[in-house]
A and B are shown apart, each in its own frame.
Chain A
Amino acid sequence: MIRITLAQMRRSVGRLAAAGIAIVIGTAFVAATLLAGNLITRSTYDSIAARYAAADLVVESAEGAELSPAQLESVATTSGVVSAAPQSLAYQGLTHGNRTIYQGVIPQPDDPRLMPLELTDGAAPSAADEIAVPPDVAERLGLGVGATVDVVRDVPGDPETGELEQVVDPMTISGLVADPKNAYGMSGGAAVVTQDTFDQWGADAAGGEVTYPEASLLLADGADLEAVRAHLATTLGSAFDVVTPDEHAEAAAAELTGGENLMFLIFVLTFASIALLVAGLVITNTFQVLVAQRARTLALLRAVGASKRQVGAGVLLEAAILGVVTSVLGVLVGASLGQLALWVARTGPVAASLPATITVTWQVVAVPIVVGTLVTVAAALVPARVATRVAPLAALRPLDAPTAEKGAGRVRLVLSVLATVIGFALLAGGAALGTVAREPSLGLALGILGGATSFVGVAVSAVFWLPKVTGLAGRLVGSSGPTARLAAANTLRNPRRTASTSTALLIGVTLVAMMSTGAASARTSLTAALDGQFPVDVAVQGAQTDDSGATVLPQTVIDAVEAVDEVAAVALLQSGVATLGDGTSSEEETVVTVQGVDRDAALAALRLDEPVEALAPGTAVVPTEVADAWGLRDGDRLTLTGDAGTVTFDLATSDTGIGEVLVLPADLRALVTRPTTEAMWLALDPGADARAGVGHVQDTVADTGELASVSGAAVERASFEDVVDTALGIVLGLLAVAVVIALIGVANTLSLSVIERRRESATMRAIGVTTGQLRWMLAIEGMLIAGVGAVLGIVLGLVYGWAGSLAALGIMGDVTLSVPWRDVALVAVVALVAGLLASVLPGRSAVRTSPVEALAAE
């Protein structure tokens, strides 16, 4: 059978290669992921090891106890030890002008061999007021060697209250220290001060003696490492471990591999398995076609005595060979891509932290090959079973190749419908748990379970309903002309194949749409929540007082800020002080701040209308909590007394209220004789970069020389949106692999169809179908298959995305379900264009068919 299998593979090598690409991509993904995991472990190891420079031993705390200077001294004087340097990193603020950089600082070791950093300019710190800084820090602060930098430290000022006090020490930059071995890569290098200065700072911060978490030791030449180690272990006791730097780095790296690194691997491998699942669908499709095409040969084999088993085993053997070959290729591709990425990355800013070559472990090679081969063989199981069903008699039938299309079973229908129904019920349950019961983690868990179950159901049942959808879509486009009708009819000729091709795309698109929808919902919901807390992009608050002691925002600041480019709307806030009641009460007076703002200006400047919507002459808006504290409710009357008189307002409460009492400026003047302009609300141009806008406002205020504070949610909102967008970008990038594989599947299906329909293409050419019409027919077919998969995927993805948002974000209050129209449109367009492109090559081979072939006998 092996000989026959190999011969058959040779005949179908083109088709197998097309399908194999799917496996190559999938396994390359897995291999690249594992390599990335190795890279993280490796660079962590290197970085940790680099921190100890030439040290022979490391003393590290085992039970949280830290080394005291006395203990360090005793370690250093142990026989065989040449030098002992404490390992510690403290963060301090380095300030020059208006710039402050928080930088990790380490003490200068006595022995230069224990120094992990490299002096690139100047000298190492030798006096208490000297500091060596990383070159980029010096550059950012605009300072050079010999210049003075202010080191800002927080020290406990008052031991009673524990309040912190800022200490500023001017220090001289003695030199620049680079970090070529990436020992402190995570903290962007390190500054260096003398051991004494470092100890002093540590003592100041602790309010007592300084302690060290670790120390690195240098041994004398010829000293017995094990003997020193054993001696130290007994003198220091069980509170400390004495290890070699390698052991230490290994342990730390292992911890990472089991922790963060593992999370990373699981996260990315999830996407790799989705890609492999899709690749499996493509393989199943290809083998089904191969078996169908070889039905005659298979029947002949059966007729001359091959058993069912042998025929089935032949198909599986073919899959296994394909799986091994393509998986090996995939590993090679993955490794090459990894190495290429490393070369590219090493030209960038993090070059120092990256090794020159990838680390290939046996797992990187074995895991993708085993998984890839298993997926391929598993994908061929159904086609293999179909192959065993070809009757020997089929070989004797004179005309029309015997068919080997398997009908879909009743069991499959029942199970898949059951999975779909139960899955969607669970999904709804998860959404309900999240919104009604406010149990986000339970809701999300139930939602994921339900989503996965229903999705399996939907994908497995696709063969029953997807052809009907395709038929419907085909009827729609079919009305546009005979070419489209031909294409639509063609998609229905192999409903199973069309269904699984669409399903492969459906999986990827559903996940992409789900992630986009989830992210869009999260973004709008969280932005809404943020707006509710602080509905102003930027607020500029006066910080100086006038003669009467009231806070004022100087007019120069107002004018300057209004002129900033990014500022789209401004509302000025006046304020005054009043007391509750009509001033005759004998009770203690409650002093309140009353703010006056123009309603239209406020509506333009705030992100929410709610806090100012109720403003009207004679109406005061009060935050609900404040009103509650006063025992008042919406619609009650509020009487206030100021230095200009007593006014009674209609009270309106606001859930997202600002300040205490908000009224119109005219009403404020009836209450207070001389209200002052105390703050301004700014709305930034929605198209502008929020960070830059806020920065401009801050600079503008600073330039006026007046005191005013700038605050606002704009930056927070922008950075939050950045986080969501970055996370979404990564996830979509990973899912894109699955979509690409699915699109290869579309192209593969079309090519197979073209090969099968040679005679038909020739006939059509003979009866007058132009080459353009033939190409267009295939293009429509490709777009139909891809379009149906994409549209259904988008709809499913929206449902899953919304359900997930409800489950996860329900606790935050009202979840805004948004449709990421841009992403959705992009996915649909990509699918259609890809369907179109997928038809190009098959179309070319179809039009190359000479019409003469229609006349040829079998």
Chain B
Amino acid sequence: MDSTTFVPVADATSHRSAPGAAVRARGLAKTYGKGASSVRALDAVDVDFAAGRFTAIMGPSGSGKSTLMHLLAGLDSATSGQAFIGATEITRLGDKELTLLRRDRVGFVFQQFNLLPMFTAEQNITLPVELAGGTVDREWFTTLVRTLGIEQRLGHRPSEMSGGQQQRVAIARALIAKPEVVFADEPTGNLDSRSGAEVLSFLRRSVRELGRTIIMVTHDPAAAAYADRVVLLADGRIAGEITDPTPEAVLAGLDALRSLESPVPDAAAGGPEAGAR
């Protein structure tokens, strides 16, 4: 944990492609709007996410971290560039193929948990497999619910569970189909710090013990510190990365970013992420 490295901007863009990359972006760009009012949310990003690793994407509000995740997960279409999941270039896929890709190869953990209120925890967890017309791997299911500590909650509906429990159910739902990669969007954003810490531990355990690949978007340096590697984003570009981060290292990295860019924090940074969290 001590061997933290802060790689400057110039080096980050030239970083080499790891052979075991689960997710890759090449020259990935996204522009919102047209003409003078257009905003370049993501500017020719090249980045690799290794399989079997827990990576955090960090950056200030408006840095493009959510946009990057949407493009990598096939939730939104890129303006230019390529994104790959495994060997599949998802930037070439249509809506139907993207849907099937998400169903079979990608898992999601949401800030708002997004469990279906009319289903029990167990029904929520097994839903993706059933929608795909497959059969639930009971052994894997048991492993998951044990690891996540929700065996006692399987018959409960979301409204009968705490936020932390709901998020653990959501993690189990994301992992049930053994996806190649799980995207987590601010998974602790709606949790108190203790539940948040638990959830992050589970995410890390599912990488270390269950061999999953997780990419997490967060603004919280403490949350990012649970990851194996932190990718820093600023102004739609990769601004650096930290391997084996500690909260202090991450904070230092963010501060360095700010001082690198401008002495005053960007006042224009706004959007949905600007809300108090």
Name A's B-contacting residues (CB within 8 A). 399, 481-483, 485-486, 489-490, 492-493, 759-760, 763-771, 773, 850-852, 854-858
Contacts and interface: CB of A to CB of B under 8 A. Distances in A.
Nearest to B277: A857
A854 B96 CA distance: 18
A852 B272 contact: no
B108 A767 contact: yes
Given A482-B127, A855-B75, A767 B102 contact: yes
Across the A-B interface, the 5 shortest Cβ-Cβ residue pairs: A768-B103, A482-B130, A763-B114, A489-B118, A768-B102
Contact of B131 (A482, A490, A851, A852): A482
Interface in B64-88: 66, 70, 75-76
A770 B100 contact: yes
Interface of B: 66, 70, 75-76, 95-96, 99-100, 102-104, 106-108, 110-112, 114, 116-119, 127-128, 130-133, 173, 185-186, 189-190, 272-273, 275
Given A482-B127, A493-B117, A855 B185 contact: yes
A764 B130 CA distance: 13
Contact of A857 (B100, B104, B111, B133): B111
B118 A855 contact: no
A198 to B, nearest CB: 83
Nearest to A767: B128
Contacts of A851: 75, 102
A767 B127 contact: yes
A492 B102 contact: no
B66 A855 contact: yes
Given A850-B76, A851-B75, A857-B189, A768 B99 contact: yes
Contacts of A485: 130
Interface centre among A766, A767, A773, A856 (most CB of B within 10 A): A767
Contacts of B273: 857
Nearest to A847: B95
Contact of B76 (A773, A852, A857): A852
Contacts of B112: 759, 854, 857-858
Contacts of A492: 118
Q: Most B CB atoms within 10 A — which of A483, A485, A851, A855?
A: A855
A760 B119 CA distance: 12
Contacts of A855: 66, 70, 75, 108, 110-111, 185
Contacts of A768: 99-100, 102-104, 106, 128, 131-132
Contact of A773 (B102, B106, B131, B173): B131
Nearest to B95: A771
Contacts of A399: 190
B131 A483 contact: yes
B114 A854 contact: yes
A490 B127 CA distance: 14
Contacts of A850: 75-76
- Most chain-A Cβ atoms within 10 A of its Cβ — which of B75, B76, B189? B75
Contacts of B107: 767
A851 B75 CA distance: 6
Given A850-B76, A852-B70, A855-B66, A769 B185 contact: no
B103 A767 contact: yes
Contacts of A773: 131
A777 to B, nearest CB: 10
Contact of B116 (A760, A765, A766, A857): A760
Contacts of A854: 108, 110, 112, 114
A852 B127 contact: no
Contacts of B189: 857
A588 B108 CA distance: 108
A770 B76 contact: no
A492 B275 CA distance: 35
A760 B114 contact: yes
B100 to A, nearest CB: 7
A852 B272 CA distance: 13
Contacts of B128: 767-768
6 contacts: A759-B114, A766-B102, A767-B128, A854-B108, A855-B66, A856-B272
Contacts of B108: 763, 766-767, 854-855
A842 B180 CA distance: 34
Interface centre among A492, A493, A768, A851 (most CB of B within 10 A): A768
Contacts of A858: 112
A292 to B, nearest CB: 14
A186 to B, nearest CB: 64
A771 B99 contact: yes
Contacts of B186: 857
Contacts of A857: 111-112, 186, 189, 272-273, 275
Contacts of A489: 116, 118-119
Contacts of A481: 130, 133
Interface core residue of B76, B127, B272, B275 (most chain A CB under 10 Å) = B127
Contacts of B103: 767-770
A399 B190 CA distance: 9
B99 A765 contact: yes
A858 B76 CA distance: 20
A89 B243 CA distance: 111
Nearest to B111: A857
B136 to A, nearest CB: 11
Given A768-B132, A850-B75, 11 more contacts: A481-B133, A482-B127, A486-B116, A493-B117, A760-B116, A764-B116, A767-B103, A768-B99, A768-B128, A852-B75, A852-B76
Nearest to B73: A766
B206 to A, nearest CB: 17
A185 B111 CA distance: 77
Nearest to B102: A768
A759 B108 CA distance: 14
A485 B130 CA distance: 10
Nearest to B108: A766
Contacts of B99: 765, 768-771
A767 B173 contact: yes
Contacts of A769: 99, 103, 131
A483 B133 CA distance: 10
A158 B133 CA distance: 94
B233 to A, nearest CB: 16
Interface centre among A492, A766, A852 (most CB of B within 10 A): A766
B118 A493 contact: yes
B110 A763 contact: yes
A766 B179 CA distance: 13
Contacts of B132: 768
A483 B128 CA distance: 11
Given A768-B103, A855-B185, A490 B118 contact: yes
Nearest to A762: B114
A759 B158 CA distance: 15
Contacts of A486: 116
Nearest to A482: B130
Nearest to B96: A770
Contacts of B127: 482, 767
B122 to A, nearest CB: 13
A492 B118 CA distance: 8
Nearest to A760: B116
Contacts of B173: 767
A482 B116 CA distance: 13
A769 B103 CA distance: 7
Most chain-B Cβ atoms within 10 A of its Cβ — which of A759, A764, A771, A850? A764
A771 B119 CA distance: 21
Nearest to B130: A482
Nearest to B104: A768
A483 B114 CA distance: 18
Contacts of A763: 108, 110, 114, 116
A759 B75 CA distance: 14
A196 to B, nearest CB: 90
Contacts of B70: 852, 855
Nearest to A769: B131
A492 to B, nearest CB: 7
Contacts of B95: 771
Contacts of B190: 399
